[in-house]
């Protein structure tokens, strides 16, 4: 048993990760509520009772804080696509699994930030990174759609147009979903996906 009063390297890493996440959670809440340009790092620091240089230490400047918030949202969607591809069943089943998680992520603070933040808020380099991740997610959705068409579980259509239609509908909860409302996020996601995919199953 380690009786040293000093934290171990693992404890220091865990402490740093917890502090970074606390800063990101405070920042993303303000970005979503006020908008990126109306939020300052002074506001974020004050909400946590820390100094602005502390944020610089853990995350960097405001652009880097925003990029990290957006990356966290997009990484959840990439993970959802990977999980859907590994799910057994028909293409439609895998697509529905992905879409439910897609909608849930968009109702989470980090996912909502992706939808609510215009690319113009980012530096050119950060915007390029954001677009690359979005292209990866778009491609994964189109691949799931194509797999469903190939196995006959999804009616023939243009995969790109269908992907845009599904994504467009499932992006909107990021703007109107209220956690204090009648439905929880998984319930909203399940109902929306059922409604949307009822129209793409073969007749």
> CA-to-CA distance for 196 and 182, rounded, in angstroms?
20
Q: With 60 as the cut, is the pLDDT of residue 2 above it?
A: no
User: What whole-number distance in Å separates Cα of residue 100 and Cα of residue 104?
Assistant: 6
Helix locations, 37-158, DSSP H: 41-48, 52-58, 62-85, 91-106, 109-116, 124-150
Average pLDDT for the chain = 91
User: Of 177, 160, 63, which is closest to residue 115 (Cα–Cα)?
Assistant: 177
Q: What are the pLDDT digits (tens) for 15-29?
A: 778 888 999 999 999
For the four alpha carbons of 14, 15, 16 and 17, in that order, the dihedral sign comes to: positive
Model pLDDT, residue 183: 87
Residue ranges per structural domain of the chain = 8-60, 63-197
Residue 117: closest CA among 40, 60, 32? 32
pTM (two decimals) = 0.88
Domain 63-197 has CATH 1.10.357.10: yes
Q: What is the pLDDT of residues 95-138, one digit of tens each?
A: 999 999 999 999 999 999 999 998 888 889 999 999 999 999 99
C-beta of residue 99 within 8 angstroms of C-beta of residue 137: no
CA angle 83, 89, 94 (to 5 degrees): 40
Provide the CATH number for the domain formed by 8-60 in this structure.
1.10.10.60
For the stretch 70-100, pLDDT in tens is 999 999 999 999 999 998 899 999 999 999 9
In this predicted model, what pLDDT tens digit does every residue of 54-70 receive, in sequence order? 888 888 899 999 999 99
């Amino acid at each position: 048993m380690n009786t040293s009063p000093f934290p171990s390297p693992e404890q220091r890493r865990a402490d740093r990760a917890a502090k970074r996440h606390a800063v990101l959670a405070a920042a993303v809440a303000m970005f979503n509520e006020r908008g990126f340009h109306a939020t300052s790092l002074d506001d974020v620091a004050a909400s946590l009772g820390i100094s602005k240089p502390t944020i610089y230490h853990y995350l960097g400047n405001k652009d880097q804080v925003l990029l990290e918030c957006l990356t966290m949202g997009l990484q959840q969607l990439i993970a959802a696509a990977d999980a859907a591809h590994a799910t057994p069943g028909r293409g439609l089943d895998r697509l529905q699994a992905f879409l439910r998680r897609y909608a849930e992520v968009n109702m989470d603070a980090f996912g909502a930030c992706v939808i609510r933040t215009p690319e113009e808020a980012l530096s050119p380099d950060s915007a390029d990174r954001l677009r690359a991740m979005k292209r990866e997610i778009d491609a994964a959705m189109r691949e799931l759609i194509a797999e469903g068409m190939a196995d006959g579980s999804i009616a023939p259509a243009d995969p790109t147009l269908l992907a845009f239609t599904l994504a467009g509908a499932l992006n909107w909860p990021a703007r109107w979903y209220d956690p204090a409302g009648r439905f929880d996020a998984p319930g909203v996601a399940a109902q929306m996906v059922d409604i949307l995919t009822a129209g793409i199953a073969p007749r």
